[in-house]
Amino acid sequence: MSTHTDSARCFIVPPYLLDHIAKLDDPRLEHASNAAQRALASSLPFRSVRTGEPTPPQQSMREETYARRQQSAAGEPSRFISDAQGTETLPGRLVRSEGGPPTADDSVNEAYDGLGNTYSLFWDAFTRDSIDGKGIPLAATVHYGEAYDNAFWDGTQMVFGDGDGQVFVSFTNSLSVIGHELAHGVTQYTANLVYQGQSGALNESVSDVFGALVEQHSLGQTADQASWLIGEGIFSDEVEGQALRSLKAPGTAYDDDVLGKDPQPADMDGYIETDDDNGGVHLNSGIPNRAFYLTASAIGGNAWEAPGQIWYETLTTEIKANTDFRQFAEATTSVAARLFGEDSREADAVRSAWQTVGVTTPAE
């Protein structure tokens, strides 16, 4: 068991997908099935339904230790990468810190670079100094657990498994995964969206949005050049699929004989009512995800500019912990009008996007 259990964990691989893999009755995939079973068992204490107003983020002893080691100047990240060496004890052995040279371990270097790319997006696009806005050091642990089939944000740091090798490979392979999980930290320090139902789906969607933007910003891609995929690179070559999720076309990220088909809905007509996955937070997030993609596509250019600014302003200044889809749609529309004008292309794009996915209807 991990030595750190004081924060809810936000996982990149949804429980319904791990549950599907865990129940596979195929001797050829026994290793993957066993790995999924372990990942589910490990995450069970952190997947209970959480309702009501969330508590403010607490600084753990581990976080304080990192903060004492190095506090960087504004505009410069302070990164610490540790190695759990196959255990579930966090943070593990420190193997690379800010300014240190690359190591011989690809996972260490990918985590280090990914934390830096995430910091760069939030600083360059929004002048946000780290996830808390106050320069907090960024920490990550690699090689967590035995063939661990997930990556997560635990309230203070990023944690990456190596995957089982049959379905999933190393989770540091995907920059969008790193950006997604660190964005949970930004949400934690701002709106702190309750991880349940529509507010939980918004929590997941915001992480997908900023995960995609981290990747696009790093690659210098415009909205029409980007893949809009989350988790590209974490499936093995045996899987028929591109990624875990698609913001551009929810429900199309994978379609595999073993894993099944991506179940995300693309609009409110497909909204899924369920008690599983904290009320479908990884499922229904496809709806606001597509709204952001449609907004960015209509505006054009770099999605981290006008579209990203609208979503960032909404997250950090306009919404409450229990915000639902309609309230978020109204808030982003209001922010777009305030930033760019009521009749601007940007405001029109936001209004049209939410109408297209069925969250709002055209004004009569």
**292: domain CATH number?**
1.10.390.10
In a domain, 362, yes or no: no
Residue 55: what pLDDT? 45
Among 158, 189, 220, give the residue marking a domain's end: 189
Same domain, 136 and 68: yes
Same domain, 229 and 166: no
Among 166, 189, 212, give the residue marking a domain's end: 189
Q: What is the radius of gyration, based on Cα positions, of the chain?
A: 19
d(CA 277, CA 330) in angstroms, rounded, equals: 26
Same domain, 27 and 174: yes
In a domain, 143, yes or no: yes
In a domain, 51, yes or no: no
d(CA 299, CA 66) in angstroms, rounded, equals: 40
Give me the residue label for tokens 């790193």: 178
3 state SS of 278: helix
In a domain, 108, yes or no: yes
Residue 341: what pLDDT? 98
pLDDT tens for 155-186 read 999 999 999 999 999 999 999 999 999 999 99
How many structural domains comprise the chain? 2
3 state SS of 233: coil
In a domain, 2, yes or no: no
pTM above 0.85, yes or no: yes
Same domain, 219 and 115: no
Same domain, 331 and 296: yes
- Whole domain around residue 137: which residue ranges? 10-45+56-189
**Section 214-242 average pLDDT:** 97
Same domain, 161 and 251: no
Residue 49: what pLDDT? 40
Examine the pLDDT at 51 and tell me if it is beyond 60. no
Structure tokens at 34: 């066993």
Q: What is the mean pLDDT of the chain?
A: 91
Same domain, 66 and 156: yes
CATH number, position 141? 3.10.170.10
**Section 55-78 average pLDDT:** 60
Same domain, 279 and 336: yes
Distances (CA, A) of 331 to 56, 123, 300: 22, 23, 21
Q: Spell out the residues 6+ positions from residue 110 whose beta carbon is closer than 8 angstroms to its own.
A: 170, 172, 173, 178
Same domain, 230 and 340: yes
pLDDT tens for 189-213 read 999 999 999 999 999 999 999 999 9
In a domain, 230, yes or no: yes
3 state SS of 83: strand
In a domain, 259, yes or no: yes
Same domain, 94 and 206: no
Examine the pLDDT at 69 and tell me if it is beyond 90. no
Residue 48: what pLDDT? 46
Residue 18: what pLDDT? 95
Among 163, 189, 215, give the residue marking a domain's end: 189
pLDDT tens for 254-305 read 999 989 999 999 999 999 999 999 999 999 999 999 999 999 999 999 999 9
In a domain, 309, yes or no: yes
Label the pairing between strands 260-261 and 255-256. antiparallel
Same domain, 20 and 136: yes
d(CA 23, CA 44) in angstroms, rounded, equals: 16
Same domain, 172 and 228: no
**Which of the residues are catalytic?**
181, 282
